[in-house]
Structure 1
Amino acid sequence: MALDPQAQALLAAFAGMPPLDFAQLTAPAYRAMLAAGGALAPGDAIAAEEDLMISTASGPIAARLYRPVAEGGDKNALLPLTVFFHGGGFVACGLDTHANLCRCLAQRARTVVLSVDYRLAPEARFPAAAVDACDAVRWAASNSGDLRVRPGALAVAGDSAGGNLAAVVAQHMRHSGVNIAHQVLFYPVLDCATEHPSYESMGDGYFLSADMMRWFKDQYFAEGADRADPRASPLAAADLSGVASATVISAEYDPLRDEAEHYAARLAQAGVLTTHLRWPGQIHGFASLLGALDAADHALTLAARSLRLALHVQNT
């Protein structure tokens, strides 16, 4: 369908900005540019937020816990846990940039959300982010008592680069004894080794460009790194059987659209219960744009519903 009018208005505003020179752009400069951007709607009201540190063999990882408002007045009920990984091309963003998305998932899915501030590139290149993601989920599974969440009720979620990490975790944990009930992937990066046709058809003029994705990958990978390693490209995994059930949300006007949809199809072919929705008329990153895009609110409600169903959270 045609580009959503609200997304079109955003793109028109972005069009007045100077083009990025990727040959000269540095990660600190890119992060500073994002920090100077406008604020988004804060997301749903929740009961509490708590910053904490995750202890891993690679060092401590900052994280933030989001706890929803109790239903039925039972503040002591143990809720399931969803571990969330933010987007940002493996280079930028963090706990604050995706707080609105985490609040909405927590409140609407009736799940505690643990947002993970994994190491960023180029200071920490592949596989650092993937290692942090797996370590964080193992830590969360082993510390349900301290987190005050329901043991054994665990999901993962992420957007863009964070969707990549959620998919990596879901693949890795099927052999580790940590049970992942569901994975929610918003317009994920799933193939760092191959450019799919949507790189050409949707790679310019729709917020995330093909050139920007190439720059992100160059920051994430050291020279000579295997970009087809499944820890970098989950789509490259030979066997997807036994991976957690999935909700995959792609955006129509997104260079990452085809790899997300290919992954959803491969999951289904492997016998994994998979729901895929291509969000019509939308651009990459739309689920975070609360207050600017109505589709953001709708997509978060759909994703939260799938999480709630998979985690068996019942209305009280």
Structure 2
Amino acid sequence: MDKEIEDLLQKVKEANRKPFWQSTPQEARSGPMLMALLFGEPPAVERDESFTIPSSQGFALPVRLYVPSAAPKGLIVYFHGGGWVIGTVAGYHPFTATLANRTGCAVLSVDYRLAPEHPFPLPVDDALAAIRWAASDAAAKAIGIAPRTLVAMGDSAGGNLATVASRIHNASGAGRKVDLQVLAYPVADHDFQTGSYAEFAEGNLLTRNDMKWFWGHYCSDESKRSHPDASPMRAQDLSASPEALIVTAGRDPLRDEGEAYGQRLQDAGVPTEVVRGEGLVHGFLAMIHYAPSAGRAFEKMVKAIERATSK
């Protein structure tokens, strides 16, 4: 583990902050996220604009589009983390602006509806609406060029939405398909008894009780958590899923489910690479300028996107 991450965990322990699972959603949203604390200043992007696209129940889904200076090689649809309860496009701005500049792709960052006010399946509806927009002529018009490659990407709960929405979209046969999914420490299941849940139940930023709290707000009816659109690990057929890169964190309760999900994709015939970031903790995308190992994990994602856009 990087010394920087060791120091961070010690600071969190000494701060004795109120954990998510003992908070209300409003309290959890009021505190600073790791992105604000650790990432640093956002880089300038050639063009960045906010607008809405239509989603279910007449919802106008807010999105933020980043377009780099050179003609974009592809379009990345990005879903932020936060357990479906916290997190915003504005909060992720430093990362998504960096993602656009580093990959040479346009990035569509999605402000999907949050639970508990908008529980499952409404965030999935928003994720699918964003993917469908990205696959349409409207995206090419907004970007100024038709992107060669379409990527779905997200971290944590955002990784869950990215993989579910890209599978549903590709299976529908409507419009161009998602070519690649890039998932960072994704939520893939609702099983709190895995080896990594047992080993890292406490002390590594995200705890087992936190995840139970997030799931309780997102999908309070436990009988619905096994729906494949909530827990993609439970999908009977994953063959429509796009090629995948899954990067897990070695010290994360979600590690085992992310890696098992990668195996499920491989078993379904989906080209999938699973990379474990040894010593990393949940939320490491906020640390790419803070901890060297987090920066290296991000570079793997950038390289995978560059390979996909060069085909």
Partner of 2:118: 124
CA separation in 1, counterparts of 2:21 and 2:72? 50
Partner of 1:74: none
Moved more, 17-26 or 130-139: 17-26
Partner of 1:28: 26
**Per-residue CA shift, 1:27-55, capped at 9, x if unaligned?**
00111123696363135443222111112
* Among candidates 212, 234, 237, match of residue 235 of structure 2: 237
**Per-residue CA shift, 1:254-283, capped at 9, x if unaligned?**
000000000111111221111111001110
CA separation in 2, counterparts of 1:295 and 1:167? 25
Contact 2:149 2:308 survives alignment (8 Å): no
Change (3 A) 1:187 1:24: closer
Partner of 1:83: 77
Structure 1 length normalisation: TM-score?
A: 0.90
Change (3 A) 1:21 1:5: closer
Partner of 1:205: 203
Which amino acid letter does the alignment assign opposite residue 255 of structure 1?
P
Which amino acid letter does the alignment assign opposite residue 219 of structure 1?
H
Partner of 2:189: 191
Contact 1:250 1:279 survives alignment (8 Å): yes
Which amino acid letter does the alignment assign opposite residue 238 of structure 2?
L
1:29-44 equivalences in 2 (<5 Å)? 29-34=27-32, 38=37, 40-44=39-43
1:1-316 equivalences in 2 (<5 Å)? 3-20=1-18, 24-34=22-32, 38=37, 40-58=39-57, 59-70=59-70, 77=71, 79-142=73-136, 143-148=138-143, 149-151=145-147, 153-177=149-173, 178-312=176-310
Contact 1:62 1:117 survives alignment (8 Å): yes
**Per-residue CA shift, 1:125-151, capped at 9, x if unaligned?**
111111110011112222123222425
Q: How much has 1:225 moved relative to structure 2? A: 4.7
Structure 1 unpaired stretches of 5+: 71-76
Moved more, 238-247 or 96-105: 96-105
Which amino acid letter does the alignment assign opposite residue 125 of structure 2?
V
Which amino acid letter does the alignment assign opposite residue 137 of structure 1?
I
Choose between structure 1 and 2: higher helix proportion.
2
Moved more, 245-254 or 174-183: 174-183
Q: Superposition RMSD on alpha carbons, in Å?
A: 2.0
Q: How much has 1:224 moved relative to structure 2? A: 4.8
Contact 2:56 2:125 survives alignment (8 Å): no
Change (3 A) 1:24 1:254: closer
Moved more, 241-250 or 150-159: 150-159
**Per-residue CA shift, 1:275-306, capped at 9, x if unaligned?**
11100111000112243222332222221111
Matched length = 305
CA separation in 2, counterparts of 1:268 and 1:24? 38
Residue identity over aligned pairs, in percent, reads: 36
Structure 2 unpaired stretches of 5+: none
State the SS of the aligned residue for 2:250.
Answer: strand
